[in-house]
Structure 1
Amino acid sequence: MDVLSAAERVGFAKRDQTRFEGLDGKTDLRLPEDAEELLAYCGVHPADRDAMLAARPDPDRDPEWWAITAALAGEVERDLDLALPPTGFKGWPAVPGDASPVGLFAAAWALLANLQRVRELQAQRGVPEPVTVSTVAALGGVMQTHRHIFGCAGVGLMPLWSPPLRFRGTDYEIGRHAFTRTQLGMGDGVSGYVLSLHIPPSGRLDAQESEESVATAVESFKRWYPEEPIAGLVCHSWLLDPQLAEYLRPDSNIMRFQSRFDILPQLPSEDPAEGDRELMRLGLHLPVPEDQLTDEDLDNVPQDTTLQRAFVKHLRAGGHWYGRTGMLKTWS
């Protein structure tokens, strides 16, 4: 079964079906026999581990999800060790809300099928194994977040951006931050490389830990990828929205982090609520509606933290939140 037909049959929306265009399923897809051991390596909690093992796709029993798993696994293998192109990466779409347990774990199986390849690749590059372990532990982290937000095991009910890049050797977690090897496109072709900096949801954003993470990453990538000289570090995040200064203390961790960047001019957005949903999902760790947030959605946001209160107050006043892009001022 081809992947586009499979995506339609399991109920992906038309706009999400397009994400599978151009992907060929791996006809030789082999899921690892030592999956339980590999999931432990990826930091997956035993409860999520058991749920995933029970939802192992089968080509005869689950032909649609097998085709989707094979296509996603093939994409990861195809792009192994490649830096992100200037056009970026379109994340894997969330599965339909009524997906079976097999569907909820399909993307996780696609990642696990490539774990051994990325481990071998990073060992050849000289990447210390603790860095590899921290990097692929994103799979366990996503499962914990999925269970927290949706109340069920899996990875499928939210879009996946970072995990596919982690399992192809493009994105690494080093200390407090993750860093994506990214091509810089200016004019005709690739003109250099930057590191795209991300903030995994792993606790408070300590300034010293952040600075140490950046310094370690810069020196490490010089050794691991000498053919990709670093021209700068860039970050795109709701954390860089200057409007946060209206609600947070100047000495808060978020504002101290923001002050380290030169914020680029804001680009027009086709969807003004996109940043609202991003902050709700990544900053507040709450379920996110597909469309603009309603008064009922805002009523359900807890009001225990300054950020939670700021989120609701700003939207009730008619504003929106935005993901903004910044260049790190000092990094070498």
Structure 2
Amino acid sequence: MDVLSAAERVGFAERDRERFVGWGTGPQLPENAEELMEYCGVAEADRREMLAARPDPDRDPEWWAITSAMAGEVEQELGRPIPPTGFRGWPAVPRDTSAVGLFAGAWALLASLPRLRELHSERGVPESVTVATVAALGGVMQTHRHLFGRAGVGLMPLWSPPLRFRGTDYEIGRHAFTRTELGMGDGVSGHVLSMHIPPIGPLDAQQSEESVATAVESFRRWYPEEPIAGLVCHSWLLDPQLAEYLRPESNIIRFQSRFDLLPLLPPDDPTEGDRELMRLGLHLAVPPHPLTEEDLAAVPQDTTLRRAFVSHLRAGRHWYLRTGMLKGWS
């Protein structure tokens, strides 16, 4: 069964089905799956449920085709940085999806792990960095269970995990860094590292600075053919409106002070930043519909950030994803 037909049959919307165009087929699912899951930091309960939801080509032909196609994209892009045109993450699966569908993305990533480990070894990446990087799989499963009360990874769009398992994104200390090509309208003009802030604890300033310093030195050794022109961050954390609510000495405001902001490009969807802050900053499930007063009333008011989120939206305003260039990184 071809992947586009499979995606239509399991209920992906037309826009999401377009994401599957051009994908090949990936490596076979591993026989030592439980061992690889443990390597990726997958909790025991999630390992059991994932093993029970292993796709079968005869029983689950649609999800088998989709899983194979996702693994095929990882294989096809192995070792490549994000191009100037960007990367669109894997779409969330339909809400009524079976357990097999909820774990399809996880199986695709797990199938790609052996080749990723070979790539890291060839590039001189320490195994400690590999382990920290692929632990994103276990982390996503924990977040998925927390947000939706169901095991799996599929109800959230997956952006970082596919990049990690293809050797594009690495977790080094407090931050993750994505190898990204810089385009100036005529092909590739240089290379930057895109910084991310995984939800692994406080955004400590010293840990952040150490992470950046280690990453710059490491990528210069691992990818000498990609000289670093700068470090960039695109995040709700850089929205200067946060300074209206947070103390100047807070970790978030101190983090913002290290960047030169680029001008705001109005998003096509003005609620994009609201939804990202709710999901990534507040660690709450984002409803499939525009946020209502009822949704805002359900947000716990136990932190300054959560109180700021609600009062800001009730005032008729929006939060924004902002882009900044790190100062003095070299």
- Identify whether the pair has TM-score above 0.5, normalized to the shorter chain: yes
Equivalent position of 1:218 in the other structure: 216
Show structure 2 runs of 5+ residues with no match: none
The answer for the alignment partner of 2:206 in structure 1 is: 208
Could you tell me which residue of structure 1 aligns to residue 259 of structure 2? 261
Partner of 2:11: 11
Once residues 116 and 19 of structure 1 are traced to their aligned partners in structure 2, the CA distance between those partners, rounded to angstroms, is 25
Please tell me whether residue 229 in structure 1 is matched to residue 234 in structure 2: no
Q: Deviations over 1:193-223 (max 9, x none)?
A: 0000000011110000000000000000000
2:175 aligns to what?
Answer: 177
Aligned pairs (5 A) from 1:7-156? 7-26=7-26, 29-156=27-154
Q: Which amino acid aligns with 1:303?
A: Q
Q: Alpha-carbon deviation of 1:291?
A: 3.3
Q: Which residue of structure 1 lines up, in the alignment, with residue 276 of structure 2?
A: 278
- Find the aligned partners of 1:86 and 1:282 in 2 and give their Cα distance: 25
State the identity %: 80
- Deviation of 1:312 (Å): 0.2
Q: What letter matches 1:79 in structure 2?
A: E
Structure 1 segments, 4+ long, off by >3 Å, are none
Q: Deviations over 1:10-46 (max 9, x none)?
A: 01112211111122334xx410000000000000000
Does the Cα contact within 8 Å between 1:3 and 1:25 map onto a contact in 2?
no
Q: Which amino acid aligns with 1:284?
A: L
Residue of structure 1 in register with 2:197 after alignment: 199
Give the match for residue 318 of structure 1.
316
Partner amino acid, structure 2, of 1:10: V
1:152 shift after superposition: 1.1
Output the CA distance in 2 between the equivalents of 1:6 and 1:155: 19
Q: Distance in 2 between matches of 1:50 and 1:223?
A: 39
Query: Is this contact kept in 1: 2:24–2:76, CA < 8 A?
Result: no
Unaligned runs of 5+ in 1: none
Q: Partners of 1:14 and 1:202 in 2: how far apart?
A: 35
Aligned pairs, number = 330
Find the counterpart in structure 1 of residue 2 from structure 2.
2
Question: 1:292, 1:254 → 2: CA distance?
Answer: 27
Structure 1 vs Structure 2 CA RMSD: 0.7
Aligned AA (1:58): D
